[in-house]
Amino acid sequence: MTAVIDASDVTKRYGEVLGLNGFTASFEPGITGLIGPNGAGKSTFFRLVEGQLKLDSGQLSVLGNPTWGEGAFRRRIGYCPESSAMFDWMTGEEFVIALLRLDGFPKAEARDRAFRAISTVDLVSARERRLGTYSKGMRQRLKLAQSIAHDPELILLDEPLNGVDPLGRATLSALLRDLQSQGRHIIVSSHVLYEVERLTDQIVMIANGRALAQGDLHRIRDLIDAHPHVIDLDTPDPRALARILGTLDHVVSIEFPGPNQLRVRTRSPDAFYQALPDLVLQEHADVRGLRSLDDNLDAVFRYLSEGGR
Amino acid sequence: MPAEGDFARILVVASLSFRSAFRGMRTLGLVAFALVPSLLVLSLTTAHASPASMENAAQVLLGLLTLPIVVMVVVLVIAVAQFRNEIDSETLVYLTDRSVSRSTLVTGKYLGAWAASLVLVVPAALLPLGIAGAAGAALNPTVVPLVIVAATALASAVYVGFFLFLGLVSRSALMIGLVFGFIWEELLLLLPGSVPRLTVSYYVRCFLSGEVQTGPLSGFPTGVSVPVAVAVLLGLAAFFVIASVWALRNLETAPERVSA
């Protein structure tokens, strides 16, 4: 299967700041989630794919084309940027029509296409309102409309779920699946894994400008599960509890952050939570509280970016 | 589906640029500024000045205030905003990510900004003479207005090109534009020898003095002939359009958070 986007050792600098740092990934047909924390390099990657930025080094091909520069090839791509800035003095409909006309569509066809795209994102009733009066969610939907109105093969959606309410998210999910069924390739970026989990099981994880992991969600989940979870326990006798928990083979380390506290790192949080009640009962341990500190993506990104140490 | 040609796309961009030039309180400010020469001439009527004095004043104001300052400032504000505001607000990406060439975008922006500027600066240049004429000044009703419109259009054509280019290449385009207008254009004109030839105003003044036979406008330098002055002004405008195309082709639009 030919990759839609092939990135090999792509580096992009902004002066001293590294936007992408040897990013290597292959985006297959269908929907792919580009997951990473804020500042990871997602928008930089999209701008490179879009031809808005020049590569400093590496290779990047999109639908078999080099990316930088102008030309008819752009019409094969639809881009929904993260920024919510728009031409506030225009109406929603004028905005989409104008962009379609820049793509070379005659006036009548541009009108038809704009109306269809605006209908798709459920903004027909607001299409004659000025963009300055649109809410953030409405802007997100209109940005999406302009990115699909010209029927592109590849659609790049940069954080499209920001500011969209739950109903809007469900609508967007349905729309993206519909576009996928029409043979479109879609790349959706987000810093929230569960948002993208609902759309696709193809994931590329990015942090500090590098692709940390790529593949289906199950593989990524395995990596996440391998991440040593940190669990804090409150107990009046931390040393006694440490001796008990130290017998578990999945416990990586034990620390004493406070006089009545114990911090455990485990490679298998499920097994830990399963074993803890039995150990407490058998050994008469006194556990008065328990907290998991890093059930979040940032911790996983940090773990993966440090090479799984 | 037959794709529309570059001309239709240029018109779309020009129309967007034209409309964007007239939004917000900025437009009111520009209109008020453009009315300053007319208000000055109007004030002479209340002072019961003679029609000949009013015509003289109108011509002097055109040469010393309207063309070098009012036209320059109005064009600066309109033309710089065309690219600079869109780069800063990240809306330029909507245009550059379309299958439209950079030369089409620049040409469209140039024409839109030029048309928008003319809407403000042509009345600013003509109205003082109109007021003088209404007060009884013996103006040539056809030639003088046409010459003034042409001079205003030529000066605007160069300024739009230059400020469009500045907006593309510098975050401080407004400041640089003001320095250019008030220091370069004004001071170099006062220097001896061939130095004034380095200014736009010099060629505009040569054009005016070659076309207007009487009054203060006819007293400007005639160092170059009218055809040469026109050719230089149009050549400069074309040069800056080409430079702007080059700048846009090499422009990178980074995300708002550069590390993002």
pLDDT in tens, A142-179: 999 999 999 999 999 998 887 676 677 788 888 888 99
Computed on alpha carbons and rounded to an integer, the radius of gyration of chain A in Å comes to 24
Q: Six-digit token pair at A126?
A: 């607001």
Spans of all domains in chain B: 6-249
Helix H segments across A75-135? Answer: 92-102, 107-120
pLDDT class of B3 with cuts at 50, 70, 90: low
Is residue B230 pLDDT above 90, yes or no? Answer: yes
Q: Is the pLDDT assigned to residue B259 strictly greater than 50?
A: no
As a whole number, mean pLDDT of residues B69-81 equals 95
Asked if B25 has any chain A CB less than 8 Å from its own CB, the reply is: no
Mean pLDDT check: name the lowest of A59-68, A160-169, B86-95: A160-169
pTM for this predicted structure? 0.82
pLDDT digits (tens, 9 = 90+) for A199-225: 887 889 898 899 988 888 777 767 666
> How much is the average pLDDT of A64-87?
86
End-to-end CA distance of chain A: give it in Å, rounded: 34
How sure is the predictor about A293, in pLDDT bands with cuts at 50, 70 and 90? Answer: low
User: Angle at CA A63, nearest 5°, toward A59 and A69?
Assistant: 65
Q: What is the mean pLDDT of chain A?
A: 86
- The average pLDDT across B69-84 equals 94
Parallel, antiparallel, or unpaired: how do β-strands A210-216 and A229-234 relate? unpaired
**B40 vs A71, more confident:** B40
pLDDT at B255 over 80: no
- The pLDDT, as a whole number, for residue A127 is 94
The rounded Cα A143 to chain-centroid distance in angstroms is 18
Report yes or no: A163 and A84 within 8 Å, Cβ to Cβ.
yes
Please give, rounded to a whole number of angstroms, the shortest distance from the CA of A67 to a CA of chain B.
11
Q: d(Cα B81, Cα B160) in Å, to the nearest integer?
A: 11
Q: Decide if B100 and A39 are in contact by the 8 Å CB cutoff.
A: no
- Binning pLDDT at 50, 70 and 90, where does residue A300 land? low
Amino acid in the structure at residue B163: F
Does any CB of chain A come closer than 8 Å to the CB of residue B89?
yes
- Third-level CATH fold of A227-305: Alpha-Beta Plaits (3.30.70)
Section B222-231 average pLDDT: 90
Q: What is the pLDDT of residue A212?
A: 85
Tell me, yes or no, if A74 comes closer than 8 A to chain B by beta carbon. Answer: yes
CATH number of A5-221: 3.40.50.300
Given this model, what pLDDT does residue B115 score?
97
- Mean pLDDT value across residues A275-297: 76
Contact indicator for B164, B106 with CB cutoff of 8 Å: yes
Please check the confidence at residue A120 and state whether its pLDDT lies above 50: yes
Which residues on chain A are in Cβ contact (under 8 Å) with B17?
Answer: none
Mean model confidence pLDDT for chain B: 88
The predicted structure's pLDDT at residue B260: 38
All residues at 6 or more sequence positions from B32 whose CB lies less than 8 Å from its CB, including other chains = none
Do A227 and A299 meet the contact criterion of CB atoms below 8 Å apart? Answer: yes
Mean of the pLDDT values across residues A48-70?
Answer: 88
Give the pLDDT band of residue A299 (cuts 50, 70, 90). Answer: low
pLDDT category, A297, cuts 50, 70, 90? Answer: low
Rounded Cα gap, residues A216 and A230, in angstroms: 26
Q: What is the mean pLDDT of residues A116-140?
A: 92
Residue B46 has pLDDT above 90, yes or no: no
The pLDDT value given to residue A226: 66
Q: Given this model, what pLDDT does residue A231 score? A: 84
pLDDT digit string (tens) for B203-212? 998 998 888 7
Asked whether the predicted pLDDT for residue A284 surpasses 90, the reply is no
Which residues in chain B touch residue A99, judged by CB atoms under 8 angstroms apart?
A: 94-95, 98
Question: Nearest C-alpha of chain B: how many angstroms from A262?
Answer: 37
From B19, which residue of chain A is nearest by alpha-carbon distance?
A: A89
Beta carbons within 10 angstroms of residue A33's beta carbon: 24
- d(C-alpha A229, C-alpha B25), whole Å: 56
Tell whether A99 lies on the interface with B, counting CB pairs under 8 A.
yes
Q: How far is CA B114 from CA A280, B70, B71, in A?
A: 81, 15, 11
Top-ranked range on mean pLDDT: pick from A90-99, A292-301, B18-27: A90-99
pLDDT of residue B133: 82
Handedness of CA A26, A148, A176, A295 (dihedral sign): positive
Partner A, chain B 149-188, Cβ-Cβ below 8 Å? none
User: Which residues of chain A are within 8 Å of residue B1 when distances are taken between CB atoms?
Assistant: 105-106, 109
| Candidate from A72-81, A212-221, B142-151, B199-208 with smallest mean pLDDT | A212-221
Asked whether A187 and A156 are in contact (CB, 8 A), the reply is: yes
**Which of B50 and B9 is assigned the larger pLDDT?**
B9
Instruction: Return the closest-CA partner of residue A99 out of B91, B248, B2, B123.
Output: B91
- Chain A residues with CB under 8 Å of B16 CB are 87, 98
* pLDDT value at residue A250: 86
CA–CA dist B24, A173 (Å, integer): 38
Of B4, B89, B259, the CB nearest to A39: B259
Does A309 have pLDDT greater than 50? no
pLDDT of A107 reads: 94
Q: Is B109 on the interface with A (CB under 8 A)?
A: no
The residue among A245, A230, A251, A229 whose CA lies nearest residue A285 is A245
Whole-angstrom distance, CA of residue B67 vs CA of residue B148: 10
Q: Are B204 and B67 in contact (CB under 8 A)?
A: yes
Phi-psi region of A69 (alpha: psi -120 to 50; beta: other; left: phi over 0): left
A52: pLDDT strictly greater than 60: yes
Which of the four pLDDT bands, split at 50, 70 and 90, describes residue B143?
A: low
Task: Point out the residue among A90, A109, A146 whose CB comes nearest to the CB of B1.
Answer: A109
Q: Which of 136-155 (A) contact B at CB < 8 A? A: 146
Does residue A79 sit in helix, strand or coil? strand
Task: Classify B213 in phi/psi space as left (phi over 0), alpha (psi -120 to 50) or beta.
Answer: alpha
Domain boundaries defined on chain A: 5-221, 227-305
- Check residue A279 and give its pLDDT: 85
Q: Rounded to an integer, what distance in angstroms lies between the CA atom of residue A89 and that of residue A130?
A: 6
pLDDT at B2: 47
Confirm whether A5-221 and A227-305 share one CATH topology: no
Highest mean pLDDT among A253-257, B2-6, B244-248: B244-248
Q: Residues A157, A126: contact at Cβ < 8 Å?
A: no
Q: Is the pLDDT of residue A295 over 60?
A: no
Cα A147 versus chain centre, distance: 18
Least confident of A195-209, A237-251, B163-177: A195-209
**Cβ contacts (< 8 Å) between B254 and chain A: which residues?**
14, 19, 44, 47, 53
